[in-house]
């Protein structure tokens, strides 16, 4: 059941290229500042980082959009940024990666959400965050919904909620009507009403939280069943880190899909790859189990790379063959 034939994978990959996916939600910019430390500052008891290299990558919803694009799909991104250099940088990166910027609402009073990691000799020294959470205003909501309606229909919509304010109840209620396939990467601390979605892709902790059973070692299987009963998505894809994922659907037993990664270097951002691949596959006519298996293989590819990474069709093919 967890196996797909080569012909089937090729058929779905070919279909990915025809799918146009809207990714919407909390957009971020990730920065990595690499250097080395050889001395302590004379000014304060802190290490001095001598910078060797800077890297910037799209983060949050922008990383999900980049993952859709990398898999061959057409990605259109809508989010909110500040009026600052980080916003310009983000736009440039998206252009380079072939992600279409549908609309980035600009707010002079909010910074573009950014996370800078200072890394010395492969070790993170500290992270510097810039963010101010503010709920999407009714005017902003109307603007986004107006934009989406003005476009030709999207094959799917991915909503990325990182709890920074873009995804409000009013926004979610309006956006979920605008495509046949609508998936959500949820932030359970938000206590939104989550009915009427095609699928949700919480990780293990988020699944427990959504079921109202926070705490590390809870029974995720029971929690998944509870979330399915409570919000009635067609599918619930609960990701389980090194244990892979579990697909819950109404009326059938959950299907557990173990990981396929052989070497693991960096698991950050694997959740973004999962929702990108899962949604693209569903929009391309994959069955729920096929879509889950494909997303698990795509995640297996990205955890084997350093930095928030993406998966290309040829890498997915190779991962299936291995």
Q: Which residues bind ligand ATP (CB under 6 A)?
A: 203, 239-242, 244-245, 259, 261, 264, 267-272, 274, 296, 299-300, 303
Q: Nearest residue to ligand ATP, using CB?
A: 271
Nearer Cβ to ligand ATP (69/297) = 297
Number of H helices and E strands in the chain, helices first, is 10, 13
**CA–CA gap between residue 52 and residue 8 (Å, rounded):** 45
What are the angstrom distances between the C-alpha of 151 and each of 87, 145, 148, 154?
23, 10, 5, 8
Give the shortest CB-66-to-ligand ATP separation in angstroms. 13
Centre a 10 Å sphere on the Cβ of residue 53 and count the other Cβ atoms it contains: 9
Nearer Cβ to Mg ion (58/271) = 271
Give the shortest CB-65-to-ligand ATP separation in angstroms. 14
With contacts defined by CB under 5 A, name the span among 61-69, 120-128, 268-276, 283-291 that binds Mg ion: 268-276
Per DSSP, 177 falls in state T
Number of residues that bind Mg ion (CB under 5 A): 1
**CA–CA gap between residue 224 and residue 118 (Å, rounded):** 37
**CA–CA gap between residue 6 and residue 313 (Å, rounded):** 13
Nearer Cβ to Mg ion (33/309) = 309
Residue 264 interacts, among Mg ion, ligand ATP, none and using kind-specific CB cut-offs from 5 to 8 Å, with ligand ATP
**CA–CA gap between residue 26 and residue 226 (Å, rounded):** 27
20-25 and 156-160: which strand pairing?
parallel
With contacts defined by CB under 5 A, name the span among 103-111, 209-217, 266-274, 275-283 that binds Mg ion: 266-274
Which residues are catalytically annotated? 272
Residue 244 interacts, among ligand ATP, Mg ion, none and using kind-specific CB cut-offs from 5 to 8 Å, with ligand ATP
Give the shortest CB-150-to-ligand ATP separation in angstroms. 31
123-130 and 156-160: which strand pairing?
unpaired
Nearer Cβ to Mg ion (271/288) = 271
271 binds Mg ion (CB under 5 A): yes
Give the shortest CB-219-to-Mg ion separation in angstroms. 20
Nearer Cβ to ligand ATP (25/244) = 244
Contact by Cβ (8 Å): 191, 212: no
Per DSSP, 137 falls in state P
What are the angstrom distances between the C-alpha of 143 and each of 22, 62, 78, 147, 158?
15, 19, 11, 6, 18
Give the shortest CB-302-to-Mg ion separation in angstroms. 12
Residues lying near Mg ion in the complex (CB under 5 A) are found at 271
């Amino acid at each position: 059941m967890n196996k797909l034939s080569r012909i089937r994978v090729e058929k779905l990959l070919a279909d990915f290229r025809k799918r146009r996916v809207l990714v919407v939600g909390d957009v971020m910019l990730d920065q990595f500042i690499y250097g080395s430390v050889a001395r302590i500052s004379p000014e304060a008891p802190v290490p001095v980082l001598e910078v060797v290299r800077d890297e910037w990558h799209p983060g949050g919803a922008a990383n999900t959009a980049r993952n859709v694009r990398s898999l061959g799909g057409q990605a259109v991104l809508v989010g909110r940024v500040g009026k600052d250099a980080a916003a310009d940088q983000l736009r440039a990166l998206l252009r380079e990666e072939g992600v279409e910027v549908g609309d980035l609402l600009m707010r002079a009073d909010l910074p573009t959400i950014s996370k800078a990691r200072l890394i010395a000799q492969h070790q993170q020294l500290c992270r510097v965050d810039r963010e101010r959470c503010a709920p999407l205003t009714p005017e902003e909501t109307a603007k986004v919904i107006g934009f989406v309606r003005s476009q030709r229909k999207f094959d799917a919509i991915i909503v990325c909620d990182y709890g920074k304010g873009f995804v409000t109840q009013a926004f979610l209620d309006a956006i979920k009507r605008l495509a046949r396939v609508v998936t959500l990467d949820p932030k359970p601390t938000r206590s939104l009403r989550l009915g009427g979605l095609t699928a949700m892709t919480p990780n293990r902790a988020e699944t427990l939280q959504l079921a109202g059973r926070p705490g590390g070692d809870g029974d995720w299987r029971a929690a998944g069943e509870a979330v399915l009963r409570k919000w009635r998505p067609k599918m619930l894809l609960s990701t389980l880190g090194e244990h892979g994922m579990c697909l819950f659907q109404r009326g059938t037993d959950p299907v557990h899909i173990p990981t396929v990664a052989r070497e693991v270097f960096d698991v950050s951002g694997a959740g973004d790859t999962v929702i990108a691949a899962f949604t693209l596959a569903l929009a391309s006519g994959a069955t729920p189990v096929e879509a889950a298996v494909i997303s698990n293989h795509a995640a297996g590819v990205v955890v084997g790379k350093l930095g928030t990474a993406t998966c290309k069709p040829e890498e997915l093919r190779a991962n299936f063959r291995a």
